[in-house]
Amino acid sequence: MLIVTSGSMGDVAPYTGLGAGLRVVGHEVTAAAHESFRPVFAAAGLPFEPLPGDMRAILPRARGQDGRTSGTGPRALARLLRIARPVIEELGDGIVAAVRRARPEVVLLSTVVAPLGYQVAEAAGIPWAGAFLQPVAPTREFGSVLLGGRSIGPWGNRAVTAAAAFVSQSLYAGPVQRLRRSLGLPHEPIRTLRTWQDGGRYPVFHGFSPAVVPRPSDWRPQLEVVGYWWPAARPGWQPPAELRDFLAAGPPPVFVGFGSMAPGQGDRLAGTIRAAVHRAGVRAVVQTGWADLRVDSDEVLTIGEAPHDWLLRRMAAAVHHAGAGTTAAALRAGVPAVPVPVLADQPFWADRAHRLGAATRPIPFSRLTADRLAAALRQVTASGHLPARARAVAARLATEDGTARIAAWLRDLESS
């Protein structure tokens, strides 16, 4: 099979675990993603096919990254889609090439690549399924995840989510029709294709826990919530001596990292974090990320890449941007969070963690100050309730296997 995905690390890493898990039960799995992720899949032992494009050329231009504007809402979504257009234009041909080289018998498609990948699978005559990290289908139960997920009532939620989907479909309409022509497929309106593909004979699996987002009761039967796909373990990885020594030198520190967010904002963020850590009286491990965040202080250790499954469970709390992957990693580790959402679906995941009792009230990135962060750090480290709830959520997640349902579907395909 071929797993096709696109995005930043949080959008890609879960598929290393999904692929590795399916390989364990006997499937031959190849991954297709942007070239920069080749080492990530190689570490998981998965063959790799490169796709064009790189999110590092897109996300720095998204609204909200400078901390002065909001990264959520219709204007922010419209800008993000507009700057993503060149990558979308290229992805279709990249998926075609990957399918021709890998010659899969089934294709699993992430949210961003699915509208294009459906056409390629149809032309190749092979089954497909969605493997989504976000609940993007309309529901009465919450608002559009692409707009932050804020609820405006049952019918308003469905209407706004449908409107956001219509806007995103317009981004794909041209590339999808050009791709269908190149593949010898007949022209179909993009709305017809979306209805057929999302509600047809093949399922869309959602890789998050029903404990975090219960499956909406008004979803079509083909839309399933199966549990998280955890990033594959990195065999042989060892923490640097400096990190081990820092952890051993005092009480558990707090983690601070913004992943792929805030490129070029490291210097500005460093002062805020340094002051907040000092005022809260805590120690911190700061991850550089795309912001190139570096904090010079006796109370802070700055590090580069480190697996979250190893690092976060050694922390007292986690300050993060509330991306789907990082939110899941903190919940899995059983550490309470201070979510600082920047754009797109991040306010949705921040609110979910808060509602679970495993996070403080979110601090929007555009409102982040040293005082607000220090207050949240004091709350998250002094409260007994937040750590207890975080541990309870982690215990629930440990009982789930997000790969099992997809493996069962594949068995059904083989026997049909």
Over residues 243-270, mean pLDDT:
92
User: DSSP label at 362?
Assistant: P
For CA atoms 6, 11, 14, 18, give the dihedral sign: negative
Q: How confident is the model at residue 275 (pLDDT cuts 50, 70, 90)?
A: very high
Number of neighbours of residue 391 by Cβ within 10 angstroms: 14
Sign of the C-alpha dihedral, residues 272, 276, 278, 282? Answer: negative
Q: What is the pLDDT of residue 200?
A: 67
pLDDT tens digit string along 28-74? 999 999 999 999 999 999 999 999 987 777 667 666 667 777 767 77
pLDDT of residue 372: 97
The Cα 198–Cα 204 span in angstroms is: 7
pLDDT in the model for residue 53: 83
Going by C-alpha positions, the residue among 37, 36, 32, 38 that lies closest to residue 51 is 32
pTM reported for the whole predicted model: 0.93
- DSSP 8-state symbol, 232: P
Q: Is 2-228+400-415's fold the same as 241-397's?
A: yes
Convert the pLDDT of each residue in 154-176 to its tens digit: 889 888 888 887 777 778 888 99
* Amino acid 56: pLDDT: 73
pLDDT tens, position by position, 192-225: 887 776 666 789 999 999 999 999 999 989 999 9
Residue 318 is predicted with a pLDDT of 98
Q: Which CATH number is 2-228+400-415's, of 3.30.70.2860, 3.30.465.10, 3.30.450.20, 3.40.50.2000?
A: 3.40.50.2000
pLDDT digits (tens, 9 = 90+) for 305-333: 899 999 999 999 999 999 999 999 999 99
Judged by average pLDDT, the poorest of 180-194, 302-316, 325-339, 343-357 is 180-194
Question: What is the Cα–Cα distance from 115 to 97, expressed in whole angstroms?
Answer: 16
Domain range annotation of the chain: 2-228+400-415, 241-397
CB 61 within 8 A of CB 262: no
241-397: CATH, from 3.40.1190.20, 3.40.50.920, 3.40.50.2000, 3.20.20.80: 3.40.50.2000
The overall average pLDDT reported for the chain is: 91
Task: Report the pLDDT value the prediction gives residue 191, as an integer from 0 to 100.
Answer: 76
> What would the pLDDT profile of 97-127 be if each residue is shown by its tens digit?
999 999 999 999 999 899 999 999 999 999 9
